[in-house]
């Protein structure tokens, strides 16, 4: 693997906007080169607009040429993520971190009224998508000279730690992400490669606006009352936790969750 000069390389999904885009910006600003992946299309089961090709390419254009490589790919398609990881290997020479930030919001009704289409969107994007990135990226994370410093980081949620009204499907999917990360960390025991999750609270993103719509709230800022900081989080605040977990100084953290939630779960 190249990168002996100090360069570091990552793949980030859900990168067109929100926390995913903030992660890409923080990594790129710290000298990383990043393959930024997003489906850039709306999907059945998510009743709001998802990220676009324009947003993904605008993200890449904020950085010097070949710093951020935009890739339109669906995390539900394992082959597409294998191709994204292969792009990192081919263009950068290897991989030091993989960040699974892609997810969708669906719900707003009791579990027994949740449609199969909504359930499938939550689990196919938010859980299978995480597993697909892990299966695609971990072999390359392990292909490092020892001592290895590979990092796999998944975005969970405060909903992974408590039940939220009319969001049973979303909560179940995020609980599954935490379980997946814990199991992956156990599989990676002794390798030097770690697996962690970051659980955000209510963060000012398009997904939170979609959540507000589900609850018929006039303003997403109403969610701030659930957090000890008494405000919504900025995506960059959550991304800061992900950025740290991607680096070598987070070596003691694996198989667990960092709660970047403004005190939501306190």
Pair 154, 132: CB distance under 8 Å: no
Q: Count of residues for the chain?
A: 266
Contact (Cβ atoms closer than 8 angstroms) between residue 256 and residue 196: yes
Take residue 227 and report the two structure tokens written for it.
């957090």
Element (H, E) at 257: strand 257-260
For residue 65, count CB atoms less than 10 angstroms from its CB and return exposed for 0-12, middle for 13-18, buried for 19 or more.
exposed
- What amino acid positions are annotated as catalytic residues? 170
Q: Count H helices, E strands: the chain?
A: 8, 7
Q: What does DSSP say about strands 151-155 and 194-200: parallel, antiparallel, or unpaired?
A: parallel
């Amino acid at each position: 693997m190249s990168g002996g000069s100090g360069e570091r390389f990552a793949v980030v999904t859900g990168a067109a906007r929100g926390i995913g885009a903030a992660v890409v910006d923080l990594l790129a600003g710290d000298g990383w080169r990043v393959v930024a992946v997003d489906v850039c299309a709306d999907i059945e089961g998510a009743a709001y607009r998802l990220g676009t090709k324009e947003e993904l390419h605008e993200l890449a254009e904020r950085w010097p040429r070949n710093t951020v490589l935009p890739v339109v790919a669906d995390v539900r398609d394992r082959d597409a993520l294998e191709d994204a990881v292969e792009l990192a290997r081919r263009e950068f020479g290897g991989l030091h971190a993989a960040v699974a930030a892609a997810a969708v919001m669906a719900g707003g009704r009791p579990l027994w009224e949740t449609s199969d289409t909504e359930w499938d969107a939550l689990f196919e994007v938010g859980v299978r998508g995480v597993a697909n990135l892990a299966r695609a990226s971990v072999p390359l994370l392990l292909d490092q000279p020892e001592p290895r410093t590979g990092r796999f980081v998944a975005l969970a949620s405060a909903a992974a730690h408590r039940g939220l009204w009319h969001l049973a499907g979303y909560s179940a999917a995020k609980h599954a992400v935490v379980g997946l990360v814990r199991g992956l960390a156990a599989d990676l025991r002794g390798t030097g490669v770690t697996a962690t999750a970051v659980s955000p609270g209510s963060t000012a993103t398009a997904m939170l606006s979609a959540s507000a719509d589900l609850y018929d709230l006039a303003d997403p800022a109403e969610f701030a009352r659930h957090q000890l900081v008494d405000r919504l989080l900025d995506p960059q605040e959550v991304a800061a936790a992900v950025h740290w977990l991607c680096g070598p100084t987070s070596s003691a953290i694996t198989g667990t969750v960092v709660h970047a939630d403004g005190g939501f779960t306190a």
